[in-house]
Amino acid sequence: MLAVQDAPAYPVPDYGLAVLRVLEDAGFEAWVVGGWVRDALLGAPMHDVDVTTSAPWQETERALRSAGIEVHETGTAHGTVTAVIDGQPVEVTTYRVEGAYSDRRHPDEVRFVRDVREDLARRDFTVNAMAYHPNRGLLDLFGGREDLAHGVVRAVGDPYRRFEEDALRVLRAVRFACRLGFEVETRTQAALVACAPELDGIARERVGQEMDGIVSSGRMAWALRNEFEVVARAVPALMPMHGLDQRSPYHAYDLLEHTARVCAGVEAFAGGSPTQSLRWAALLHDVGKPVCASVDERGRGHFRDHQRVGATICRETLLGLALPHEVAGRAAALVRYHDRHLSASPAGVRKLLRRLDQARPGEAPALAYQLLDLQRADAVAKTLSCAQRAVELDVFERALSDELARGTAFRVRDLAIGGGDVMRALGIAPGPRVGETLSALLDDVIYGRVENSRDALLAWLHEKA
């Protein structure tokens, strides 16, 4: 049970109070609503303050401007303007109710009302449907404070109606459950599963925003185990994982449970703060397996080339969700090499760095450390005999750190000579042969066949000439 206050333990920030005061001095009613109230009751207030008021947006704008407050018309069709006080934005919205949602995303009609209770009744979840005023106290019509105390996400009113109004609320429910560490109330959960197919009609970038929030919560393992029907509808590439028996002596779990354990593992190995790309890579690291699955004559499963196929699916999936190209590229690189055997020899370290640099120029060292966390998580999510590999990777990490500290060469630009030296030594003009020679030279440096010093490299060139 969470410790929940009868009223927020923290005062409303001054910039929020200023908006309340201006509106009430102008003869209107106003309340703080939404996320600030929810989190303040949990003892963790947000900086963002939202205000709802009986004032029409035109009157809100007029009153705030008269008080010398900067105002922007950010959503007047829905009665919203944004006040900016000391650099802090405060969204102010007129009490409203909404008509039918024929597109399952936007109301066909918005009607402004005078009663805050009608406004609260249209909101998505009980924990988000509370209002607070420093003088009038907490207005909680739907048991939001009690649901906070019991760790429950519950729809306001009929959950089927809430999700049919806006299918994106299906993912929002999962995101709130993940972010707050809550469970979804039974009837709300049934509606989630029933309404999940409606996500197919939602813009992919909106789905991507919600899914990224779920992934970034650090509770993706919980979501896979408890809300698979929802997240797989949002990310269809996950669907074939369900119930896929890997038929392997190296795997104790089916593909979905293995993936959930890898998602939990990267949280542990990265100290609770994996990068966005690493979290997505954990979720999608084996996404290529269903495509590449085969069974031999002994009944053993194989997934040849699933790393390469998975990297392509990972990149396409993330770009399809409108996530940043750099996030998709990094995640794809991690998926591509998540199953690669890593040798702690100097040549083994340099080879990995070179491959990662080819995939993501300039990012190889950071990606190498992330890859280690992904491989550790992958190892402990297999069988007990495979888990030892997580410890063995510590040896590679020390070798990686040593090589980077020495300024090891894994890129052409790390070589002690350049293109001009190649052209003079070989008597050639600029062209492809210069790059080919430098690449071959880098190979010999990586494998320790020649020292990365100017004299040694020039001698190598003269020998080749």
Q: DSSP states of 81-150 as a string? A: EEEEETTEEEEEEE-EEE---TTSSS-S-EEE-S-HHHHHHTSSBGGGSEEEETTTEEEESS-HHHHHHH
What is the bridge-based pairing of β-strands 88-94 and 49-53? parallel
Q: pLDDT tens digits for 50-102?
A: 999 999 999 999 999 999 999 999 999 999 999 999 999 999 999 998 755 55
Q: How far is CA 265 from the centre of its chain?
A: 16
Cα 114 to Cα 323: distance, rounded to the nearest angstrom: 40
List CB contacts of 419: < 8 A, sequence separation 6 or more: 430, 434, 435, 438
**What 3-state class would DSSP assign to 431?**
coil
Q: Which two tokens stand for residue 90?
A: 């405060």
In whole angstroms, how far apart are CA 311 and each of 258, 263, 289, 367? 18, 17, 11, 15
| C-beta of residue 319 within 8 angstroms of C-beta of residue 325 | yes
pLDDT bin (cut points 50, 70, 90) of residue 2 is very low
Q: pLDDT tens digits for 394-418?
A: 999 999 999 999 999 999 999 999 9
Mean pLDDT of 237-262: 94
Whether pLDDT at 453 is above 50: yes
Phi then psi for residue 28, to 5 deg, are: -110, 165
Residue for token pair 């350049």? 418
Q: Which two tokens stand for residue 95?
A: 């009490």
| C-beta of residue 199 within 8 angstroms of C-beta of residue 171 | yes
pTM of the model: 0.91
Q: Which domains does the chain have, with CATH numbers?
A: 14-150 (3.30.460.10), 154-234 (1.10.110.30), 239-405 (1.10.3210), 412-464 (1.10.246)
List CB contacts of 341: < 8 A, sequence separation 6 or more: none
